[in-house]
Amino acid sequence: MLQKREKTIAGDERQTLDAVVVGAGAGGLYALLRLKREGRTVRLFEAGSEVGGTWYWNNYPGARVDVPSLEYSYSFDRALQQEWVWPERYSAQPQLQAYFSHVADRYGLRDQITFETKVVSAEFDESRSLWKVRTDGGEVVWARFFIVATGPLSEPIFPKIEGMSTFKGTSVHTGRWKTDGADVAHKRVGVIGTGSSGAQIAPELAKTARKLHLLQRTPAYSVPSQNKVLDAQEIAHLKSNYDAIREHARANRSALGIDVNDVGAFEVSEDERQRIFEERWQYGGLGFTAAFGDLYLDVDANKTAADFVRQKIREIVEDADVADRLMPDTLIGAKRLCVDNGYFQMFNRDNVELVDLRENPVLEIDETGIVTAQGHIDLDVIVYATGFDAFTGSILKIDIRGRGGKELKAVWDSGPRTYLGLCVAGFPNMFIVNGPGSPAGLANMVTLAETEVDWIVDCIQSIDRQGKSEIEAIQEKQDCWGRTLNEMAEQTIYPLANSWYVGANVPGKPRNFMSHLDYPEYVRSCRASAESGYADFRVE
């Protein structure tokens, strides 16, 4: 479809595109690729200077996937699957960055991407059924469809600590390592945060830092990745079974090839339970909490897995006092489980010190370090591994206005509301990828992005075939979707933790569980909608 150009009353030339995509991560790149293949006119705006999204920004030492690389990759092209080599079971950030860069080159996507450009506003013009999209460079683009692929974990958050800005050393957030990264060799480093980012970066920095202080507020559950280099034989074997690997993963709630043991934790003897946990621990990765079918459903069952990890911490950490302080006392898995490469082992190093913020809180940051209740920690570098304003942070950074000029920020005042995680009532022709209300955060998000983008592109094609110009979520359907999500979540332990899944990591953010818990069920809902000709939407 040729790009339309028209003159406005003011005489400026106006581009009218089929679609504007925001974000060049896994989701946005695939959206661009699919729309391009359908002959659509598209432009993609990306704040960073390269593709990759998460894997562009989070290039901190130790960054790597917590799900197997063979699975955390696109499946749409068998040739791509076969030609790309993942060198490790859990590949590191440079390989992921290279992969997305290769995809951009291989499918000729770069011409349509404008880098180092943020979309700052998007407004739906009801009279023309078009989105008016404005960038921070002042460019205005008009498009029929507005595709928001800004990432569920792309808006970093910093704690509010008095004196932060006075620190004279280097301050850096893991999620902005790309632009602000630090060389820590022979330096005194403080890492704040013990989520997945903190658990990944700290052991890596400790290898070269003069001294590393890990500032822990909530002790984390972490399991070993048991990462390894894949040899040629293993790679060949996996690749010859790729279709089966994908099929197995897509049948799983998490869209990952995790073998879920449907047996309950108390349906086996104590010895058998320990044997199964040990087997999963030795295998490595997120499959640990799939050791029994009720670990996410039953608090007592959950405790058996938590106890197992606590025992492992006692065995690994040589100093009993440090081990005690590292002991998590929450539910395992209710916050995302960390998958590490030597996290607990790191505390056996002479140059690593654990600072337990529960007994020794941070009072302030000054020019030379962090002041805690027990004294001053002299630092050259402060690493904020303090997480993200998940799901809504990057979307609401854009001033999005739908029907009647209504602000998305106002509509989501008490939490994000979507239908199928893809659309929002009052915001016609806007689609979100890896957004709230989808299985984002809990499912393999490359697979999920493919699923969602395929649905979006098929939907656009269908609207055109029907000669229609608008598609919009229906309020009642959206409310019902929200209730279904809550009902699913309430049967699990997820709402019980103060995690980013519920927005509890951002002061003042309304508490909502923002994910769909079951990828196959989610796919069925999306498919049913498409098969009904989008009868569950308003199409005009």
| Footprint of ligand FAD (CB under 6 A) | 22-28, 45-48, 53-54, 56, 58, 63, 65-67, 72, 118-119, 149-154, 175, 197, 394, 397-398, 433-434, 444-445, 449
* Among 113-121, 125-133, 186-194, 456-464, the segment contacting ligand NAP (CB under 6 A): 186-194
318-347 footprint of ligand NAP as x/- string (CB under 6 A): ------------------x--x--------
Dmax of the chain from CA atoms?
A: 79
Q: Which two tokens stand for residue 27?
A: 């989701």
C-beta of 377 vs 502, nearer to ligand FAD: 502
Instruction: Report CA-CA distances (Å) from 31 to 57, 131, 458, 460, 489.
Output: 20, 17, 11, 12, 29
Whole-number Å distance between alpha carbons of 503 and 491: 19
Read off the tokens for 158: 């910093």
CA nearest 286: which of 260, 263, 318, 323?
Answer: 260
25 binds, among ligand NAP, ligand FAD, none (CB under 5 to 8 A by kind): ligand FAD
C-alpha–C-alpha distance, residues 496 and 514, integer Å: 13
Min CB(187)–ligand FAD separation in Å: 22
For the beta carbon of residue 115, count every other beta carbon within 10 angstroms.
14
**Which residue in this structure is represented by tokens 């000054």?**
366
**CB of residue 66 to ligand NAP, shortest distance in Å:** 3
The two tokens of residue 335 are 């916050």
Query: Which 8-state DSSP code applies to residue 405?
Result: G
Cβ closest to ligand FAD, residue 26 vs residue 332: 26
Q: Is there binding between residue 171 and ligand NAP (CB under 6 A)?
A: no
Residue 431 CB burial class (10 angstroms; 0-12, 13-18, ≥19): buried
Nearer CB in complex with ligand NAP: 426/441: 441
386 is a site residue for ligand NAP (CB under 6 A): yes
Q: Based on the shown chain and the rule CB under 6 A, indicate whether residue 412 belongs to the binding site for ligand NAP.
A: no
Q: List the Cα angle 220/223/225 in 5-degree steps.
A: 135
Q: What's the rounded Cα separation, in Å, for the pair 386 and 196? A: 10
Is residue 388 within 8 Å of 415, Cβ to Cβ?
Answer: no
Sheet with 170-173, side-by-side order of all strands:
170-173, 381-384, 188-192, 211-216, 352-356
Q: Tokens in use for 536?
A: 């569950």
* Interacting partner of 447 out of ligand NAP, ligand FAD, none (Cβ under 5 to 8 A depending on kind): none
Applying CB under 6 A, among 17, 33, 65, 453 the residue interacting with ligand NAP is: 65
Q: Identify the three-state secondary structure at position 304.
A: helix
Residue 31 or 377 having the CB closest to ligand FAD: 31
Q: How far apart are CA 54 and CA 72, in angstroms?
A: 13
Work out whether 314 is an interface residue with ligand NAP (CB under 6 A): no
Q: Shortest CA distance to 306 belongs to which of 223, 224, 225? A: 223
Q: Which of the stretches 101-109, 269-277, 385-393, 394-402 binds ligand NAP when contact is defined by CB under 6 A?
A: 385-393
Write down the least CB distance from residue 350 to ligand FAD, Å.
Answer: 28
Closer residue to ligand FAD (CB): 149 or 326: 149
Confirm or reject binding of residue 500 to ligand NAP (CB under 6 A): yes
- Distance from C-alpha of 519 to C-alpha of 62, rounded to nearest angstrom: 29
The residue with its CB nearest to ligand NAP is: 195
Tell how many helices (H) and how many strands (E) occur in the chain: 17, 21
User: Phi and psi of 335, rounded to 5°?
Assistant: -95, 155
139-168: contacts with ligand NAP (CB under 6 A):
153, 159
Q: Which does 301 bind (CB under 5 to 8 A by kind): ligand NAP, ligand FAD, none?
A: none
Q: Which does residue 357 touch among ligand FAD, ligand NAP, none (CB within 5 to 8 A, set by kind)?
A: ligand NAP
Contact indicator for 223, 338 with CB cutoff of 8 Å:
yes
Nearer to ligand NAP, 156 or 169 (CB): 156
> Which partner in ligand NAP, ligand FAD, none is near 387 (CB below 5 to 8 A by kind)?
ligand NAP
Q: x-or-dash pattern for ligand NAP, window 21-60, by CB under 6 A?
A: ----------------------------------------
Chosen from ligand NAP, ligand FAD, none, partner binding at 198 (C-beta under 5 to 8 Å by type): ligand NAP
Residue 119 interacting entry, from ligand NAP, ligand FAD, none, C-beta within 5 to 8 Å by type: ligand FAD
CB closer to ligand FAD, 48 vs 369: 48
Q: Does residue 197 belong to the site contacting ligand NAP (CB under 6 A)? A: yes
Minimum Å gap between C-beta 196 and ligand FAD is 7
- Binder of residue 292, out of ligand NAP, ligand FAD, none (CB less than 5 to 8 A by kind): none
- Phi then psi for residue 179, to 5 deg, are -95, -30
Residue 393 host element (H or E): helix 393-396
Considering the rule CB under 6 A, would residue 505 count as an interface residue with ligand NAP?
yes
53 binds, among ligand FAD, ligand NAP, none (CB under 5 to 8 A by kind): ligand FAD
Helix segments in 171-228, DSSP class H = 177-180, 196-206
Q: 6 Cβ partners below 8 Å, 6+ apart?
A: 13, 14, 16
For ligand NAP, give the closer residue by CB, 220 or 422: 220
Q: Is 66 in the site for ligand NAP (CB under 6 A)?
A: yes
If one counts every other C-beta atom within 10 angstroms of the C-beta of residue 492, the result is: 18
Q: If contact means CB under 5 to 8 A according to the sort of partner, which of ligand NAP, ligand FAD, none does residue 385 touch? A: ligand NAP
**Nearest to residue 489, comparing CAs of 523, 522, 515, 526?**
515
**Residue 505 interacting partner from ligand NAP, ligand FAD, none (CB closer than 5 to 8 Å by kind):** ligand NAP
Would you tell me which residues interact with ligand NAP (CB under 6 A)? Answer: 65-66, 153, 159, 174, 192-198, 200, 217-218, 336, 339, 357, 385-388, 500, 505
